[in-house]
Amino acid sequence: MQALIQAMQRSRVCVGIDPHSGLLTSWGLPDTAEGVREFSLRVVDELAGSVAALKPQSAFYERFGAAGITVLEETLRLARARGVYTILDVKRGDIGSTMGAYAEAYLRPGAPLEADAITVSPFLGPGSLAPAVDLAREHGKGVFALCLTSNPDGPSVQHAQRDGVSVAKEICDWAATANAKAPTVGLVIGATVGDAVVGNGLDLVSSQSIILAPGLGAQGAQASDLPGIFGDALPQVLGSVSRAILKLGPGKMASAVAEFEAK
Amino acid sequence: MQALIQAMQRSRVCVGIDPHSGLLTSWGLPDTAEGVREFSLRVVDELAGSVAALKPQSAFYERFGAAGITVLEETLRLARARGVYTILDVKRGDIGSTMGAYAEAYLRPGAPLEADAITVSPFLGPGSLAPAVDLAREHGKGVFALCLTSNPDGPSVQHAQRDGVSVAKEICDWAATANAKAPTVGLVIGATVGDAVVGNGLDLVSSQSIILAPGLGAQGAQASDLPGIFGDALPQVLGSVSRAILKLGPGKMASAVAEFEAK
């Protein structure tokens, strides 16, 4: 995670690479693995020098099976060659040797789909993510655990409580413990969750987590909303934006990132 | 889901295809995509006629990047050709168009990774899974949502409550609503969850869900434990077993499934 912390000295923006069919069409590209390839390589090429991180969304590559995954490999390779931090958005979550296999797939140096960090889903309990956290720590990589999302259905799970502690708070406390050894675990907290951080009693500063905050731009949050949501943890926030940048099309994205940054 | 309900007339066993490195070694196969291919095709070939379903675990294919996904495509194709129901264990979960892309990847007829059903993870709230449920219903396919898992960390999320209703019960109630139109949503409930079904007030019979119950064999549950755990919902239970069968090696798996069935 150290590399990301350094990258955040010069940029506080992560751009998602979301080659969904609507965007491919608006870019004049076919809705095929080849279209996804053109799109992805162009985004990496244009933005590698101006963002803190790029976040490819695996779902849009998986649509095309092995052909799509070949493109994802190439996208991650190009990003690495350009020296930009990659957060692969896969939201994996499983137990034991299966979670270990996901970790091997994405966090093992030299793996075909090696990224600098991945997103993970703690539905099986945050402790189930240990194989990914351990491998990430070993190699200086990162794991971003879903914590508080801004979709309307999120609170039904994330605000639920056990012994007076919400699921979201338990994940935040678990991150704090994991990060006491070395910064490894980040948290995904939507930029549109309103007062849920305070309401769930999350101590984000003590967690020492980088906070990946999707929802800027198309999903309705403004950079000016962030201080109210994250309070003293604002310096830990990496704002994530996808469609508001991607929809502009090639040649216009880098300047739009600079505008985001200025806010 | 109808095809699975029919298959369960003759078998109540699902075998997981988990080509992890230890099993590949014990089969005398290399820990490569080619080793995974040999393993997977052999399991399909030997078991297609004697089980209700086969459940490939995506993590073990993703380890090898696009080469592994090519093998997963071939495994799913062979299973389809042999007429055995496939539950692809991917535990995907996301929102909006991203969840839609996962649905397209695995539940769209003709997709390279088409399966008959997938597992999904409701950390973003069960309602977030709607794009997968809708596509599954349209094509007579299925979606198995994680509900109660038997790993020690599972209860920290799944037993948490909101307004007196646990996360697990909310998922079960959501499945009941989804299945009122047509049987589409199944639930993943570990065969070693003890009294958690009763403790969380799950009405499995009313949910009309097929219950995928991992944990038989290597994870410690016996077929004789199932009535105590699932009660009147026992006819809905599809027991899932992986290592206890797979470790026997080629040529010995089909007879072991028959023994499981007899219990």
Among candidate residues A212, A210, A221, the one with its CA nearest the CA of residue A243: A221
pLDDT at B104: 98
- Which among B57, B65, B127 has CB closest to A73? B65
In the structure encoding, which two tokens stand for residue A255, read together? 């300047």
* Closest residue of chain B to A56, computed from CA coordinates: B98
The range of the structural domain enclosing residue A39 comes to: 2-262
| B126 with A161: Cβ contact below 8 A | no
Q: Name, in order, each residue with C-beta under 8 angstroms of B223's C-beta and a sequence gap of 6 or more.
A: B216, B239, B260, B263
| A66 with B70: Cβ contact below 8 A | yes
Whole-angstrom Cα distance, residue B151 to residue A9? Answer: 40
Burial class (CB in 10 A: 0-12, 13-18, 19+), A83: exposed
Least confident of A214-218, B28-32, B108-112: A214-218
For B169-178, what is each residue's pLDDT tens digit? 999 999 999 9
Q: How far is CA A118 from CA A53, A93, A242, B79, B208, in A?
A: 12, 11, 17, 31, 36
Average pLDDT over residues B89-102: 98
| B91 with A96: Cβ contact below 8 A | no
| B125 with A154: Cβ contact below 8 A | yes
- Which among A63, A95, A151 has CB closest to B124? A151
Q: Name, in order, each residue with C-beta under 8 angstroms of A49's C-beta and a sequence gap of 6 or more.
A: A82, A84, A254
* Model pTM score: 0.98
pLDDT at B219: 66
* 3-state DSSP assignment of residue A251: coil
pLDDT at B112: 98
Strands A13-17 and A237-241: parallel
Whole-angstrom Cα distance, residue B202 to residue B211? Answer: 12
Does the pLDDT at position B217 exceed 90? no
Whole-angstrom Cα distance, residue B110 to residue B181? Answer: 25
Chain A residues with CB under 8 Å of B173 CB are none
Q: How far is CA A244 from CA A27, A104, A190, A257, A260, in A?
A: 14, 33, 16, 10, 10
Determine the distance in angstroms separating the CA of A105 from the nearest CA of chain B, rounded to an integer.
Answer: 4
Q: How many domains does chain A have?
A: 1
> CATH no. for residue B9?
3.20.20.70
Determine the distance in angstroms separating the CA of B183 from the nearest CA of chain A, rounded to an integer.
Answer: 22
- Tens digits of pLDDT across chain A (263 residues): 999 999 999 999 999 999 999 999 999 999 999 999 999 999 999 999 999 999 999 999 999 999 999 999 999 999 999 999 999 999 999 999 999 999 999 999 999 999 999 999 999 999 999 999 999 999 999 999 999 998 999 999 999 999 999 999 999 999 999 999 899 999 999 999 989 999 999 999 999 999 999 988 766 788 888 899 999 999 999 999 999 999 999 999 999 998 888 77
Sheet of B161-162: strand order equals A165-166, A161-162, B161-162, B165-166
Active site residues of A: 91
pLDDT at A219: 66
Does the pLDDT at position B220 exceed 90? no
Among candidate residues B108, B233, B124, B226, the one with its CA nearest the CA of residue B170: B124
pLDDT band at B221 (very low <50, low <70, confident <90, very high): confident
Q: Name, in order, each residue with C-beta under 8 angstroms of B89's C-beta and a sequence gap of 6 or more.
A: B16, B55, B56, B57, B58, B118, B119
Burial class (CB in 10 A: 0-12, 13-18, 19+), B224: exposed
From the CA atom positions of chain B, what is the Rg in Å? Answer: 17
Determine the distance in angstroms separating the CA of B104 from the nearest CA of chain A, rounded to an integer.
Answer: 6
pLDDT at A181: 86
The beta strand positions in A29-124, using DSSP E, are 53-56, 85-92, 117-120
For B186-215, what is each residue's pLDDT tens digit? 999 999 998 999 999 999 999 999 999 998
Chain A residues with CB under 8 Å of B187 CB are none
Q: Report the interhelical angle of B65-81 vs A65-81 (nearest 10°).
A: 170
Active site residues of B: 91
Does the pLDDT at position B218 exceed 70? no
pLDDT band at B40 (very low <50, low <70, confident <90, very high): very high
In the structure encoding, which two tokens stand for residue A237, read together? 């926030």
